[in-house]
Amino acid sequence: MLAPYVAALAILQLAACDSPQPAQSKADTQAPAETAVAGPERVVVAFGDSLYAGYGLNRGEGLADELQSQLRAGGINARVVKAGVSGDTSAAGRQRLAFTLDSLEAKPDLVLLGLGGNDMLRQLPPAETRANMTAMLDELKRRGIPVILTGMVAAPNLGPDYARDFNAIYPELAAEYGATLDPFILDGVIGVDGMMLPDGLHPSAEGVDAIANRLAPLVAEKLSDN
């Protein structure tokens, strides 16, 4: 399943700095919601890298868009703010997290946090990734914002020592901070025909749909708890 990552280590990151913006809901623009949307608006910030930014996809096909569409189709009055920046490392995310949160009109109800994949592709020390992820979780905890952590796993060609140290980051931090964990954001998508773009790194629109299908129940449950 992770074979495409071997070749991907030679691919440079493609950065496009996107400012946080509300997702364009398919439920709003393409089809009526399956269930009437009800309740106060719940704001979810999708904070991550190109997997959150919708790299290589058309407008309205990114993860924030699809997640918002699925939540609203389930009757949840959710607005998912796209705060993904292609090429971001965990260090870059750490630098912009507070600014992103401060730029919102009000404290969000939930943050999806997904960074570290570019750290792995650059073969940065896992200790650095852990320190940056810890700092972001500390900031979110300080602000009283619940978190869903979407994890990444190391490419197999990086060796068992790197994989051991890197792969432990997400489950251990999720347990420490009480965050909901989705262990591997590309699970069931990477290496599957039609689910990835030709670069082997980013999900296609169909892949994004599959990821959102897995994440939407986690988001709905987290919102119901808070």
Ranges of H-type helices in 17-125:
26-29, 50-53, 63-73, 90-102, 117-121
Provide the domain limits for residue 123.
3-225
86 catalytic, yes or no? no
Identify the pLDDT of residue 23. Answer: 56
The first and second tokens of residue 21, run together, are 């913006």
CA atoms within 13 A on the CB side of 15: 8
The pLDDT tens digits for 138-180 are 999 999 999 999 999 999 999 999 999 999 999 999 999 999 9
Whether the Cβ atoms of residue 88 and residue 129 lie closer than 8 Å to each other: no
Euclidean distance between CA atoms 162 and 81, whole angstroms = 33
Identify the pLDDT of residue 24. Answer: 53
The first and second tokens of residue 150, run together, are 């979407």
Residue 184 belongs to domain with CATH number: 3.40.50.1110
Catalytic hit among 69, 119, 182, 202: 202
The residue behind tokens 């590309």 is 186
Euclidean distance between CA atoms 141 and 113, whole angstroms = 13
* Average pLDDT of the residues of the chain: 88
Catalytic hit among 50, 86, 90, 204: 50
50 catalytic, yes or no? yes
Q: How confident is the model at residue 120 (pLDDT cuts 50, 70, 90)?
A: very high
The residue behind tokens 């070749």 is 7
Domain count, the chain: 1
The pLDDT tens digits for 168-222 are 999 999 999 999 999 999 999 999 999 999 988 999 999 999 999 999 999 999 9
Identify the pLDDT of residue 139. Answer: 98
28 catalytic, yes or no? no
The structure's pTM equals 0.86
The rounded percent of the chain whose pLDDT value lies above 90 is 80
Q: How many whole angstroms from its chain centre is CA 112?
A: 6
* Averaged pLDDT for residues 90-113: 98
